[in-house]
Structure 1
Amino acid sequence: MSDIKVTDETTHGAYRVEVEGADQPAELTWQARGEARIADHTFTPPAARGKGIAFDLVEFMVKDARDKGFTIVPQCPYVAAQFRQHEEWSDVLADTPS
């Protein structure tokens, strides 16, 4: 797996990584909402699934949030599941109204 590339268009963006043997990159996309980023979709090419690539993208977003000072709204089911399993990420979990 190569390095994760960050695309930040202010209102939206993605974390992408090229995957050897796949014709598409793995990605985690987001939309901005104030000081938060809504993690709305993850994709891993079928040939690369089960190798922890989607987890690496979520973990990278968490580190990026800590470095840049934004919070994360885990709208994507995969991202939400990872946040439930990793309580140590609660510092970057956005407060959402009930």
Structure 2
Amino acid sequence: MEIAHEETKTKGRYTATIEGCTGEMTYSRSSPRLIIVDHTMVPDELRGKGVGQALAKHAIDEARKGGWKIIPLCPFMRAQAMRHPDWQDVIQA
């Protein structure tokens, strides 16, 4: 699954498209070292295919590469962060 990234100065999103359907995870950048993941949406057609998990993992990988932290306001991202203690190095509560 390939994940695309779009970003402006203050907002961004990761998208994954499969079979013509797109799931997304959006965020706001509150500082150069902090993003707030505020929304994850996976259409019904993609549920159960690991799209949300792939988007969450991609956000974690990007935070590690970029040296920033994530505040998981989105309920899905917050739940994923709680399930993955190995992500805590880039999660800010």
Range into which the TM-score falls when normalised by the shorter chain:
over 0.9
Shift of 1:11: 0.4
Match of 1:30 in 2: 27
One-letter code aligned to 2:82: R
Moved >3 Å (runs of 4+): none
Report the Cα distance in structure 1 between the residues aligned to 2:79 and 2:42, rounded to whole angstroms.
Answer: 16
1:1-98 paired onto structure 2 within 5 Å: 1=1, 3-22=2-21, 25-34=22-31, 35-94=33-92, 96=93
AA matched with 1:73: I
Letter paired with 1:90: Q
Letter in 2 for 1:92: V
Aligned alpha-carbon RMSD (Å): 1.1
Is the 1:21–1:47 Cα contact (8 Å) retained in structure 2? no
User: For the residues of structure 2 that align with 1:18 and 1:52, how far apart are their CA atoms?
Assistant: 12
Give the Cα–Cα distance (whole angstroms) in 2 for the partners of residues 32 and 88 of structure 1: 23
Q: TM-score, normalised by structure 1?
A: 0.88
Aligned residue pair count: 92
How far apart, in 2, do the equivalents of 1:21 and 1:8 lie? 22
CA distance in 1, matches of 2:68, 2:86: 16
Deviation per CA, 1:40-81: give whole Å up to 9, x if none: 000111111011110000000000000011100000000000
Gaps of 5+ in 1: none
